Amino acid sequence: MPPMERATVIVGRKKAIRYVTACITLFNRGQREIVLRARGRNIENCIRTVMLLKKSFYSELKIREIAIGSDVFERGGRRYVSYMEIVVGR
């Protein structure tokens, strides 16, 4: 059986508990690792989501990897937007 690919949750402007619910659903379906990705102002919400998961639902949750960087957009000029990806696993 091939290894499962990492599921990705794109964190946006909604409340953090919505993304926590999405992560719990993925873990209950058998995912071992989930990537939470956010850009710009939503990075804070991504961190809040991970902390809620760890403190309230999965105390054994491990933060496996954190990646930060910037995406380049070429709309009317060059623009850089920061992003953060946090890989969590059980």
Task: Report pTM.
Answer: 0.86
Whole-number mean pLDDT of the chain? Answer: 92
What are the contacts of 19-25 at 24+ separation with CB within 8 A?
19/45, 19/46, 19/49, 20/49, 20/52, 20/53, 20/56, 20/57, 23/49, 23/53, 23/88, 24/53, 24/57
Domains belonging to the chain, first-starting first, are: 7-89 (3.30.110.20)
The per-residue pLDDT for 25 is: 95
Q: What's the pLDDT score for residue 3?
A: 53
Pick from 69, 73, 83, 79: nearest CA to 40: 83
For residue 45, pLDDT beyond 90: yes
Percent of the chain's residues with pLDDT above 70? 96
Tokens of 68: 């930060």
- Structure confidence by residue, pLDDT tens digits, 48-89: 999 999 999 989 999 999 999 999 988 888 999 999 999 999
